[in-house]
Structure 1
């Protein structure tokens, strides 16, 4: 099979996937994505283990029936950030060498790429595809809260981890990511009429404002630390002292030490009230450790780069502040490369796109990398 001649077929599968709503909390849609994908893996001889979930889509673990102890782990996610109805309002389309639609690059094109990379290896007579275990999870966009334990368990003993987030716009793969965390501050105050008896109130919004200022003072961008209260909620009426206010916090760090320190600092900020009579409840944690470019990751990147050069691709690597499941495998000491999916941009927006020519190019790269890694392991 020449994967380049399969472009039309691959785009057909991609169109099917993009036109299915699969937001993280739309379980029916995410499970439908799984139903579409599973026959392809079964045809390749993979056994399916379904890890059922109540609130999000079921996670899928795929192992070849002839090899239960594979050395390569591939992780890809089936969920998107888009609400139900988006696919109908903005269905799959093609224009000027690009494909558009919700989740087209993050990461439905990668799901297609994984399938056709394995099919390519089987069709050319390579047994390397049997040395791959695939995890398709359904909550990556919300932090992989239920799939993280699965990824970490299945990663034990693996020689390599390949994470299928899309390549950067310039085609680079990812070898380093900042760690991330999500926290929520819920402030309880006391309501009162702001015109008649304001002194009887205890403003939850005022207390939250104090906390926002202190939290933003924790920023140290030069050291890779960012703290952002990105969403706030509170109040019932403009003439009422607010009895409730909520702040949602995003935290990014560059090192494991920073992750531990930030948890303690945020807890300290929220340990006492600035506005007398208000109470604070803090929830959340550092969800993903940072992915650090260590010697093992550098060595794996050089293998991937050499394979790319043989295909005429001058592959570069980069670091990014966004989070992904690569953080989990890399923190376990497993050589990990991220961004192995096709090339595109504007993920999570109405402008999200896939560079169509990269779909077959990066699929072939993935297949050849799998083949090379199996050879490296056996040498």
Structure 2
């Protein structure tokens, strides 16, 4: 690890450069700028890059070392953040104590640095391992991976393992299971009327919306890991007019495939029949990210990572999280998958987001040695 510790300032310098570039999911120019920097870094150490062009979001990058031969490991790291254009100027990268701060510093620009330097570590210490690695840097994870999901799934079926570079949790644990989820939109139409002169002639879209909110919310079962959240509603024009239109947006989280199928059917059934005569419901959306469950394949991969950690004197605990990530896609296809392999961070998606500086080199070595183990038939 000493070689990497000598490069820590170099790693922090690259981290600062990336953090100070706005790369919100819908800011294509910024995401592509991050991609250009990373592409140059990888090509400098012998990687080839395939750019997958996108019109609205940033371009995705497929990276493999020039010696690649039947890769068995897919590494996934997203380049986009949740922060709007201008955020990097408002609160640029800074260090206080052992923590680095700035938009996307942990989720997941710190992970981009860790991944790059893990490849550099392997190049020096285990170059044969690079033959078995392919990397996808995608640009739309924070908005549900609408354009990269198919790419991830296409690559996943070719490999044995998927290592996803979301940051480790605050306590240093990696992620072995996640809830699946998605969003729905209900557009309700009715008939307007004057609420004083002829209210009987109207069909209230908002009243219909109220019935649907109650029924959808009743599907929540926190004990079973199912949550339905109506997070945004709008409708109506004036208090004296029966509203003819209303819209609600629903966030859905589930813990396993059976719940996913059940909840999807329940939502469709609820929306199939209006409670208020004369209203109609248009339902769109769905559960787009399947749950990542701690199955046998994922548990076996976790055990390997924990053994590697023990050899490096790094305690590797694991956890479940309700948030979604690209790890759900390969795991759902039966590929052994573990997430949270980036450096340790916290307060993601907020102004307080931070990265533990000491964890950058530690997690770089853990990642590199895990790849070495998985490609050397020692497990």
* Partner SS for 2:17: helix
Task: Tell me whether 1:285 sits opposite 2:276 in the alignment.
Answer: no
Aligned residues: 378
CA pair 225-124 structure 1, distance change in 2 beyond 3 A: same
- Counterpart residue number, 2:324: 323
TM-score, length-normalised on structure 1?
0.96
Match of 1:31 in 2: 32
How far is the alpha carbon of 1:125 from its aligned partner? Answer: 4.9
The equivalent residue for 1:15 is: 16
Q: Cα deviation per residue 1:148-205 (whole Å; 9 max; x = unaligned)?
A: 1100101122111100011111000111111112111111123334344433332222
- Contact 1:168 1:344 survives alignment (8 Å): yes
Deviates more, 1:242-251 or 1:134-143: 242-251
| Structure 1 residue 68: Cα displacement | 4.6
- Note the residue ranges of structure 2 that are not aligned, 5 or more in a row: none
CA distance in 2, matches of 1:368, 1:319: 24
- The equivalent of 1:59 in structure 2 is 60
* TM-score, length of structure 2 as denominator length: 0.96
Q: What SS is found at the alignment partner of 1:54?
A: coil
| Structure 2 CA distance for partners of 1:275 and 1:304, relative to 1, 3 Å | same
1:291-345 CA deviation, whole Å, 9 max, x = no partner?
Answer: 1111111111111001111111111111111111111111111111100011111
Match of 1:227 in 2: 228
368 and 211 in structure 1: CA distance in 2 versus 1, 3 angstrom threshold = same
- The answer to which of 167-176 and 219-228 deviates more is 219-228
1:345, 1:353 within 8 Å by CA — same for their partners in 2?
yes
Q: In structure 2, what is the Cα distance between the partners aligned to 1:261 and 1:181?
A: 14
Structure-to-structure mapping, 1:123-162, within 5 angstroms: 123-162=124-163
Cα offset, 1:89, TM superposition:
0.9
Which residue number in structure 1 is paired with residue 205 of structure 2?
204
Alpha-carbon distance in structure 2 between the residues aligned to 1:242 and 1:193: 9
Verify: 1:194 aligned to 2:208, yes or no: no
Q: Contact between 2:95 and 2:101, CA under 8 Å: does it hold in 1?
A: yes
1:166 aligns to 2:167 (yes or no): yes
1:2 deviates by 1.0
**Secondary structure of residue in 1 paired with 2:282:** strand
Give the Cα separation in 2 of the matches to 1:29 and 1:158.
Answer: 31
The equivalent of 1:307 in structure 2 is 308
Equivalent position SS for 2:77: strand
Are 2:261 and 1:260 equivalent residues in the alignment?
yes
1:27-86 residue CA offsets vs partner (Å, 9 max, x unmatched): 111111101110111112221111111111111111222215211100010111111111
- Structure 1 unmatched runs, 5+: none
Instruction: Tell me which residue corresponds to 2:75.
Output: 74
Deviates more, 1:262-271 or 1:6-15: 6-15
In the alignment, which residue of structure 2 is the partner of 1:298?
299
Q: Deviations over 1:87-111 (max 9, x none)?
A: 1111111112111111111111001
Matched residue, 1:216 = 217
Could you say if the C-alpha distance between residues 220 and 49 of structure 1 is closer, same or farther in structure 2, counting changes exceeding 3 Å?
same
Contact 1:126/1:371 (<8 A) preserved: no
Q: More displaced, 298-307 or 241-250?
A: 241-250
d(CA) in 1 for partners of 2:127, 2:55: 39
Q: Is the 8 A contact 1:80 1:103 kept in 2?
A: yes
Q: Which moved more, 1:61-70 or 1:295-304?
A: 61-70
